[in-house]
Amino acid sequence: MTDKKNAKDIIIKAASRLFRTRGYYGVGLNEILKESGTAKGSLYYYFPNGKEELAIAAIDYTKEFVADKIRRALEKFEEPIQAFQAHINDLSEEFGVHKEIFGLPIGTIAGETSLTSEPIRLACQSAFECWQLIYVEKLLASGYSEKHAKELGLLINAMLEGGILLCLTTKSREPLRIIAEQIPFLLKK
Amino acid sequence: MTDKKNAKDIIIKAASRLFRTRGYYGVGLNEILKESGTAKGSLYYYFPNGKEELAIAAIDYTKEFVADKIRRALEKFEEPIQAFQAHINDLSEEFGVHKEIFGLPIGTIAGETSLTSEPIRLACQSAFECWQLIYVEKLLASGYSEKHAKELGLLINAMLEGGILLCLTTKSREPLRIIAEQIPFLLKK
DNA sequence: CTTTAATTATAACAACCGGTCTACTAGTAT
DNA sequence: ATACTAGTAGACCGGTTGTTATAATTAAAG
């Protein structure tokens, strides 16, 4: 999680960005190397098992990165409704500003590999669980029941991945904004 | 090797299935040909512009195929809440039965290509719009306002794509079932 | 300095990619 | 029978893929 120090982190960061935006099979090793300014030797030194191992590291990095972003956004308001709206609007805003480097956090790679690579699938699952847990905790703190909180946490995860996908496909930030507006109806106790 | 139908449709069907489950870059032409039992000559005879043109045809096919499925499911109940729940539970059921051949309708390919192929992106956008329109019409028929219906239609689209993604990554049909249970809160007028 | 380990840089690898090309079959109309 | 055409089959191409092996470089330790 430290900044640009060793080559390993640089490679992970570049891979994370590229995998997120274009998927696992859509990005080649050469492109990752070019973007990160490193060479093949370094990649296979740090990731002896190649592309798959790198992808898992990239997903883990994205998991933590996104988790921090979620936490920071949810802290802004005590009330879940306002907090989640703030979070979603943050995403929408980010998409509006620099749409090129914005991808489904891990949706694309998750869909591509769910049937072809069990290790990557598990890494994606872990990320989704991590984010959901943050949502759940926020809801529990406001008195939602354990069951209800878990259901809503899952739903928010699904809505966000789907919403980001729609933003990408329509090249507009409207989908996420509309989703944010529906949050109050959803979180009504 | 001409089966009951012409080769073009066979290729489109095979491509549709493979693209849906593993994405655009995750599937090679040779695999599509092997699966469809045709040869390269036929493919480039019907799709002179190659893989991209085939992908668009496959997406259009998926669009109509899924649209029919949605219409059939929504017809079962007049009340939107029950109708949408039936639709989502259908999907969940289908995933439980044969999870291998179940993919995000087009989520994966949409994410992969939104930044790399404008024609494919537009085909995906058209599919999403088509499905949303069906949702909207169902809601309008029950007295929802135009604005509210459109918002909910988009939300349902996002929830479904996200929910299917979560089903794939967790190898469980629970996500879609949980989403179905939340529908009543969402559609409350 | 010398020696040794850690890291990086290339070159080469088979396998496969999407795409092109030509030969071939089968059916139809003349 | 002949000529024409729609459609099929598959070998082949240049380029790229992920991976491996090895050489060159740097850093650390004695």
Model ipTM value:
0.93
Are residues A158 and B154, on separate chains, in Cβ contact within 8 Å? no
Residues B93-112: what's their mean pLDDT?
83
Nearest in space to A16 (alpha carbons), one of A69, A68, A57, A72: A57
d(Cα A159, Cα B115) in Å, to the nearest integer? 21
Sequence letter at residue A121: R
Are residues B25 and A26, on separate chains, in Cβ contact within 8 Å? yes
d(Cα A41, Cα A44) in Å, to the nearest integer? 5
Question: How many Cα atoms occupy the beta-carbon half-sphere of A181 within 13 Å?
Answer: 12
Chosen for mutation from B31, B91, B112, B128 (greatest number of chain A CBs closer than 10 Å) is B112
Residues A171-180: what's their mean pLDDT?
96
Cβ contacts (< 8 Å) between B155 and chain A: which residues? 159, 178-179, 182
Can you give the distance from the CA of residue A154 to the C1' of nucleotide C17 in angstroms?
38
Q: Give the class (CATH, top level) of A7-186.
A: mainly alpha
pLDDT at A2: 32
Q: What are phi and psi of A145, to 5 degrees?
A: -70, 155
- On whether any CB of chain B is under 8 Å from the CB of A189, the answer is no
Residues 33-72 of B with CB under 7 A from strand C: 40-41, 44, 48-52
pLDDT at B1: 39
Fold of B52-187: Tetracycline Repressor; domain 2 (1.10.357)
Q: What would the pLDDT profile of A101-157 be if each residue is shown by its tens digit?
A: 566 789 999 999 999 999 999 999 999 999 999 999 999 999 999 999 999 999 999
Q: What does pLDDT average to over chain A? A: 93
Residues A70-86: what's their mean pLDDT?
97
pLDDT at residue B3 greater than cutoff 60: no
Rg of chain A over CA atoms, in angstroms?
A: 17
pLDDT at B136: 98
Can you give the distance from the CA of residue A53 to the C1' of nucleotide C4 in angstroms?
29
